A and B are shown apart, each in its own frame.
Chain A
Amino acid sequence: MAVSSVGSSVLSRAKTFGMSKLELKELLWGLLFASPWIVGLLAFTGWPILSSLYYSFTQYSVLSASKWVGLDNYATMFVHDDVFRRALYNSTYFAIIFVPVGIVSAITVAMLLNQKIRGQPIYRTIYFLPVLVPDVALSILWMWLMNPQLGLVNSLLWELFKIQGPGWIADPDWSKSAVVLMSLWTIGRSVVIYLASLQDVPQDLYDAAAVDGTNWWQSIRNVTLPMISPVIFFTFITSMIGSLQLFTVPYIMSAGDGRPAQSLMFYSMSLYRNAFIYFKMGYACSMAWVLFVIVLIGTLLVFRSSSRWVYYAGG
């Protein structure tokens, strides 16, 4: 009761805020519903992020006080540090390959799993299983399967196609591809998300398309993909962020140092090392913010293009 009287008195002054009563009402509702996140930002997440920005301009070891150094960290990064350049290259290379491959694979698998054929619950569970296997187990298993001399992958390539398989993680030129293949095992998460979004595609649309005589590929292109495009947008951006921040898999597969020949030195591995092993948290923060800018630019590009390919049925 007190709320509504406060509410109506605020609303009556809507004009003073330069908006209509309706706009103000929506603004208040919007803020109210969003308040959990806003409070969380102010209480928990905001300060650590801002402080990391501050520390990026300092020499900071976490254990002792920070020392302001201005743009030194950034300068060192771009001018002196070849590990940084390597790490950025490796992560970008991985992301450029894995993001599209991962999305296409996940959508394909999700569509396959979305049909009403027998055994789907079993199939869906199986495709999700690798997500539940601990990363360390996945990595070890994959390292064996991809062993150039003795592993299953190269054996099959030889037996079936008479191709001499590459050196995979023993070969600096193939190690990242090995990581891509390994990461494809865990597309189960994306598949679940796509499966959920496929539920929202109204059956009527498919029926109408069928009546119009479209074949299966056309109905995918004209009905399915547009209807799930908001979720594709989501997975594109989160996959891009996740790929650039990938840590555990390359860390385990390269014994923490990016071997062979630094080909698996991923960005977040170098960042982790600087932060916790070298006591250069300030430098790690500047690495984080450089990555942030890169990801932000990528995201903004995707956002900008989204008006062309993302279709929202709602508001």
Chain B
Amino acid sequence: MTQAADRLGAPRALTLRNLKKKAAIKRGLRIAFSHLLLLPLAIMFLMPFFWMVSTALKSDRQVFAWPLVWIPSPLVWKNFPDAIAFFPFWLYLRNTAFIASCAVIGAVTSCSLVAYSLACVRWRGRDVLFMLAVATLMIPYQVTMVPLFITFSKFGWVGTYLPLIVPSFFGGAFFIFLLRQFFRTIPNDLIDAAKIDGASHPRIYAQIVLPLAKPALFTIALFQFLNTWTDFTGPLIYLSDSKMYTVSLGLQFFRLQHETMWQKLMAASVMLTGPIVILFFFTQRTFIQGITMTGLKG
């Protein structure tokens, strides 16, 4: 307490009230400063999505008008129902939701299992396996795309959803790497204590590690969902029945030979990302608690 008092400047009265006032001012300044930084950047970050929505409401002539039109007039709401009617929107949406959900389940379970092995089980060769996994990230997809296609073709999986779903149940190096880093931040004492209590690895995995890594698992789920949702090449080469197509293929309907139907494309994109935005907004509260950073505790 005396250290704190020295920092405040000795002559001031060390009443609790004064200390609390000081802390409040400091907190107020910090909050103001944060908003000062966050707000202008937020406007910048909001721009792309705002432009997307704004373009979705534009008429033909305003899409590429210069200077940029931010608030179109008239507001062409019709672009939205037109966009949805332009391709089998709901069918493709259901298909994509199905594939994405399966992939998310696959990714979260398999990657967490593998990451657990690399982070919490002390076995010989785990670092080699880890390096190997990271190394697979270094090969660009363009050169593995065709052999992989041929592999799936030999399995007889071309024309089904299997090539889009099954691999996620066998781990992905990116997520394994991420989770392994997160799992390694879990203090050893916790795990050792559980081991002393006689817990086996499966129990430690399920009851200690997973719950502690919730924010990381949420992140994996989000990313896998987004990857599958926006994947174009996969559905393009593996799906041959247009009733099974996904939204990324559906959006191609708006590309004509010499033009692109921008407003409808943006309208459809808004319809497809809107729910994700809302989902993100509501689920983040559960996983990102935030902290209060205090410079001084009263």
Contact = CB atoms under 8 A, between A and B. Distances in A.
Chains A, B in direct contact (C-beta < 8 Å): yes
Interface of A: 19, 23, 26-27, 29-34, 36-41, 43-45, 47-49, 51-52, 55, 62, 109, 112-117, 120-134, 137-138, 141, 144-145, 150, 152, 185, 188-189, 192-193, 195-201, 203, 206-207, 210-211, 213, 215-216, 219, 227, 230-231, 233-234, 237-238, 241, 245, 268, 271-272, 275-276, 281, 284-285, 288-289, 291-292, 295-296, 299, 303, 312-315
Contacts of B30: 115, 216
A234 B151 CA distance: 31
B142 A315 contact: no
Given A48-B148, A129-B277, A313-B186, 16 more contacts: A30-B125, A31-B117, A34-B129, A37-B110, A40-B167, A117-B34, A122-B281, A125-B284, A130-B48, A133-B52, A210-B295, A271-B143, A288-B142, A313-B185, A314-B185, A314-B187
Contacts of A271: 140, 142-143
B18 interface: no
Interface stretch (B81-89, B92-100, B130-138): B130-138
Contacts of B135: 292, 296
A238 B177 CA distance: 9
A314 B186 contact: yes
B185 A199 contact: no
Contact of A150 (B66, B136, B187): B66
6 contacts: A27-B124, A112-B37, A112-B38, A115-B292, A130-B48, A299-B138
Contacts of B169: 36
Interface of B: 3-4, 7, 30-31, 34-35, 37-38, 41-42, 44-49, 51-52, 55, 66-68, 110, 113-114, 116-126, 129, 131-140, 142-148, 151, 167, 169-171, 173-174, 176-178, 181-188, 191, 201, 205, 212, 215-216, 218-219, 222-223, 226, 230, 251, 266, 269, 273, 276-277, 280-281, 284-285, 287-297
A132 B273 CA distance: 6
A245 B140 contact: yes
A206 B293 contact: yes
A285 B186 contact: no
Contacts of A129: 45-46, 48-49, 277
A133 B143 CA distance: 27
B240 to A, nearest CB: 19
Contacts of B55: 137
| 5 nearest A-B pairs in the assembled complex, by CB-CB distance | A40-B170, A30-B123, A33-B117, A196-B215, A37-B171
Contacts of A312: 184-185
Contact of A29 (B114, B117, B140, B251): B117
A291 B140 contact: yes
Contacts, number: 288
B48 A123 contact: no
B63 to A, nearest CB: 10
A200 B138 contact: no
B182 A213 contact: no
B197 to A, nearest CB: 17
Contacts of A121: 281, 284-285
B201 to A, nearest CB: 5
Nearest to A240: B138
Contact of A141 (B47, B124, B184, B296): B47
Contacts of A276: 142
B1 to A, nearest CB: 10
A197 B185 contact: yes
B38 A230 contact: no
B185 A48 contact: no
Contacts of B188: 313-315
B124 A227 contact: no
Given A196-B287, A230-B182, A137 B146 contact: no
A179 B51 CA distance: 19
A288 B140 contact: yes
Contacts of A131: 226
B290 A116 contact: yes
A161 to B, nearest CB: 15
A59 B4 CA distance: 73
Contacts of A150: 66-67
Given A49-B136, A238-B137, A126 B46 contact: yes
A30 to B, nearest CB: 3
A133 B167 contact: no
Nearest to B171: A37
Nearest to B122: A26
A234 B177 contact: yes
B187 A192 contact: no
A112 B3 CA distance: 28
Contact of A30 (B126, B137, B284): B126
A49 to B, nearest CB: 5
A47 B31 CA distance: 54
A291 B296 CA distance: 50
B113 to A, nearest CB: 5
B135 to A, nearest CB: 7
A102 B124 CA distance: 35
User: Which of A30, A133, A231, A268 has most B Cβ within 10 Å?
Assistant: A30
Contact of B288 (A39, A145, A196, A201): A196
